Chain A
Amino acid sequence: MSLAAVNARRVLPLVTGLLLAALMLPPLAMLVHGSFAQTNAAGAVTGWTLHHFRALLTAPGVGTTLWNSLVFSAGSTVLSLAVGGLLAWLVERTNAPLRFLATLSTIISMGTPYVLHVVAWLFLLGPVGPANGLWQAAGGAGKLIEVQSMGGMILIEGFLWSPLVFLLLGATFRAANADMEEAARTSGASVPATIWRISLPLAMPAILALALFVFIRAIGAFEVPALVGIPSRIYVLTTTVFESMKTMPPDLGQASAFAVVMVAIVAVLLHFYGRLSANAEKYHSVTGKGFRPRPFDLGAWRWAAGALIVANFIIVLLLPMIALVWMALQRFPRGFSMAGLKTLTLSNFNAVIEAPNYLDLAFNSLLVAAGAASAIMALAAFAGWIAARNAPGGRVLDQLSTLSLVFPGIVLGVAVMEVYLRVPLPIYGTLWIILIAYIIRFMPFGMRYVYAGVLQLHRELEEAAAVAGAGTLTILRRIVAPLLRPAMVAGWLFIFLIANKELAIAVLLASPGAQVAAVAVFDLWVNGQGGELAAFGLLWTLLMTVVAVLFFWQSRRGGADIWGN
């Protein structure tokens, strides 16, 4: 082995580790620092205090906030699991008709910013929306649905998350060991009995792990709590952090204290998630089978199942899209009506296309998402390979790169802001700060893709290259990189999509000169430009759907599913 090769093997983990540490550690440190720091009016630290935590404990409504967070997260987890899980099972394991509709709605909702969905739902379920309108037309008194409520929040969040649940559980059901089901069926068990006694127990560890995963995401959710919760005066942890950043001057101390509490909660939950999912892997007995398990024959229930799939398609995709089209074509806001049909106008689309700032905005968003995806995949390629090969430092790299899972988006926004308000690096108010936040937030996903990709490659190839005299870098470049390409591309596209989708990370970091699409949609909503919002949102969704289609095509082709498993 040449000297250069030895050096590369030592230096590579070190450089990767330093880069990751420089990204991941400052936000966490600053958050903790901020929660104990006493500051003067100009924001300079003057001493240390427990005041922020004390204030947090004694503030009125803290208990309610925590309780709201719990109810909201638990409720939306259950709903999204029920909807997404049922759908996944119908699509993957039965012969229900029209199954492609479920995949279609999932692909399109992958590309739609959450905030846009929420706006559409608020219209549909709102006081003048079709739900209440039909109810009143049918002679109902008052409102059928009060969307500005905890129930409304859970309903919207649950449906918002059901496509991802569908994807993830779909993978579980696809990989399920069908031998036992086959055995049960040949022994004379009915379809329901087989599902109840065999399929469900087998999938249960994966379902539980996924439930916890969705719960963690819901704790950190921002879009629904902000748009639905704040007007209803229902505050959860994320919106409390947001509001304390929005007073003049911003209460960084209180926001940090709340953020630290959230990080602690998420860290504990993640610990259990790790154990649950490790447990789930144990049952993940067979992979890479050459055949797909025989689908259950639903018999006469086939069409009922098909109706469910269609209903889901209408609710999750069709209605929100129709709502957005309607909003985009109106000069001023109004419910669905015949009168509204006569006043349709393209003026909102014209404004979006002609006003130069929308083009800048779209370009900025694409640039920063592509930048983040590229940087992450580049870093993850090294870190993931080192970790997957159990090379020295591998464990540390793995932990460093997945550290940011403890940050809900809004918390990361606060943390990154604190870092760059104090560090004399003038990137506050530029796209760079959003880029850095995205890299930190989505690094764990890139790591998952590379790690799983490397595990699929047999060591022999690399060993053979090493025997033939290739150095570490040569092996990486000539052997690993080409074979990893499908996983890398899928990971890149996935990060690109979610970076453009999430609002919470950028909402505190975006500036007028450095704006991204999801934040712009949120601003348009708060400022009362629903028409332009809908027009811009639809065009944006169209663009992102193209990327999402590419992503699915690449994932299928590369044999990696959404999670990189």
Chain B
Amino acid sequence: MGFARRAILHAAMLITAFAASPAHAAGADAALIEAARREGQVVWYSTLIVNQITRPLALAFEKKYPGIKVQYSRATSTDVALKIASEARAGRIQADVFDGSNTVFPLGDAGLVETYLVEAASAYPPELRDAKGTWTALNVYFMTAGYNTDLVKGADIPKTFDDLLDPKWAGKMAWTTDPTVNGAPGFIQNILALKGEAAGMAYLKALAGQKVVNIPASQRVVLDKVIAGEFPLGLMIFNHHATISAEQGAPVAWARLEPLVSNANLISAVKGAPHPNAARLFLEYVLSVEGQKEVAKSLYLPAHPRVQAQVAGLKPEAGGFKARIVTPDMLRAGEKGWTAIYQDLFR
């Protein structure tokens, strides 16, 4: 069984490698599509917000490849890693692909990540694409503060990190408990890099005195609380989330606290996945120009260098803001320390 599956995989890989380029131009090659279709579905454990992007992407894929169903669900990075690790322990892996800012690292350590160089992502810059093929960036993030435009106006809108220390914001700021770069640890690394170790820690201690409220839910929930007026300011929210809500008429905007924290959402295939070919086909699709255009359409920020963001101002070049990119390597090196500071000062 294992051998047979491997043999098929190898055959599929060979075919992928030798397939003529015209087929590629149209997307993935016929043999992969056929093999994926026989598997019938792909199971995607996502950290993205379902109604904003996961579902639209799944539907676009199903439309392009009828007969291959996308099963998806959403959880935090940690939860996704946890689920897949438990499934492996129980001898019944169900996930085919997963994403997340740092989901791939613990799972990689546990030997649960498939190496697969996504053909469609060959044009991605090296920081958005693992050379070994364990991950590729699906989209990029810029984290900043969001504010309720009914409650925060004109001169009150924070322009620098120091503005957050104004006593008027005490108890009025919230952030997620997500213990990743997309939560408080990301904020902490940004401050330490910006101000240096000593001044940075002094700033963080002062911020802790502002009693930032911890919300045990996603960044989306934090922003929703800002929109509803529970908090005038939300820290470490995704700038595109604010734009998505503002387009629906919500009283929200994002502040330019420079540099913004930037990182990428990485997508990978699971080793020993029940639908390996569908997993590859799915990766090929979502990372292709066509898939990335779907990402852009849902107002997320595509990773593909040739695909424009729908709202160009959400990215530094067109938006004219500075961002500090946290690469996966920086993340691995610093994460423990930042999380410890968070636990120490803010929990």
Contact = CB atoms under 8 A, between A and B. Distances in A.
Interface of A: 42-43, 126-128, 230-231, 233, 246-250, 331-335, 343, 351, 355, 357, 417, 420-421, 424, 426-430, 511-513, 515, 523, 525-530, 532
A523 B220 CA distance: 13
Interface residues of B, number: 45
B75 A335 contact: no
Contact of B74 (A42, A231, A523): A523
B78 interface: yes
B34 interface: no
Given A231-B214, A427-B92, 7 more contacts: A230-B216, A421-B89, A421-B90, A429-B90, A526-B221, A527-B49, A529-B220
B49 A42 contact: no
B208 to A, nearest CB: 14
A512 B79 contact: no
Nearest to B74: A527
B81 A248 contact: yes
B85 interface: yes
A189 to B, nearest CB: 54
Contacts of B86: 250, 417, 421, 428-429
B105 to A, nearest CB: 10
Point out which of B72, B215, B228 has the most chain A C-beta atoms below 10 A from its C-beta: B228
B334 interface: no
Contacts, number: 119
Contacts of A246: 78-79, 82
A511 B89 CA distance: 14
Contacts of B83: 429, 511-512
B250 interface: yes
B217 A525 contact: yes
A523 B46 CA distance: 13
Interface string B126-143: 000000000000000000
A245 to B, nearest CB: 8
Nearest to B227: A332
Instruction: Report the 5 A-B pairs with minimum CB-CB distance, sorted nearest first.
Output: A512-B73, A528-B220, A428-B90, A528-B221, A426-B92
15 contacts: A231-B214, A246-B82, A248-B78, A248-B106, A249-B85, A250-B82, A355-B55, A357-B71, A426-B90, A429-B92, A512-B43, A527-B74, A527-B75, A528-B221, A529-B49
Contact of A334 (B71, B95, B227): B227
A333 B86 CA distance: 35
Contacts of B74: 523, 527
A527 B90 contact: no
Contacts of A420: 90
Contacts of A525: 217
A532 B81 contact: no
A528 B229 contact: no
Contacts of B106: 248
Contact of B228 (A233, A335, A351, A429): A335
A9 to B, nearest CB: 40
B215 A513 contact: no
A246 B223 CA distance: 24
B249 interface: yes
B71 A512 contact: yes
Given A248-B78, A428-B90, A523-B75, A332 B85 contact: no
Is the contact region of chain A dominated by helix, strand, or loop, or is it mixed?
A: loop
Interface of B: 43, 45, 49-51, 55, 71-75, 78-79, 81-83, 85-87, 89-92, 94-95, 106, 214-218, 220-221, 223-225, 227-230, 245, 248-250, 347
Contacts of B51: 351, 529, 532
B328 to A, nearest CB: 17
A334 B226 CA distance: 10
A462 to B, nearest CB: 46
B248 A527 contact: no
Contacts of B73: 511-513, 515, 523
Contact of B229 (A128, A355, A526): A128
A366 to B, nearest CB: 19
Contacts of A515: 73
A530 B223 CA distance: 12
B227 A513 contact: no
B45 A528 contact: no
Contacts of B215: 231
Point out which of B216, B223, B347 has the most chain A C-beta atoms below 10 A from its C-beta: B216
Nearest to A433: B90
Contacts of A511: 73, 83, 87, 94
Nearest to B47: A527
Contact of A528 (B87, B95, B218): B218
B21 to A, nearest CB: 35
A496 B181 CA distance: 43
Contact of B248 (A43, A331, A429): A331
Nearest to B92: A426
A334 B90 contact: no
Nearest to B223: A528
Contacts of A357: 71-72
Contact of B217 (A42, A332, A333, A527): A527
A128 B225 CA distance: 9
A420 B87 CA distance: 10
B50 to A, nearest CB: 7
A424 B49 contact: no
Given A246-B79, A429-B92, A527-B49, A333 B43 contact: no
B214 A233 contact: yes
Contact of B230 (A126, A351, A523): A126
A247 B179 CA distance: 10
Contacts of A127: 229-230
Contact of B43 (A249, A250, A428, A513): A513
Given A248-B106, A512-B73, A526 B218 contact: yes
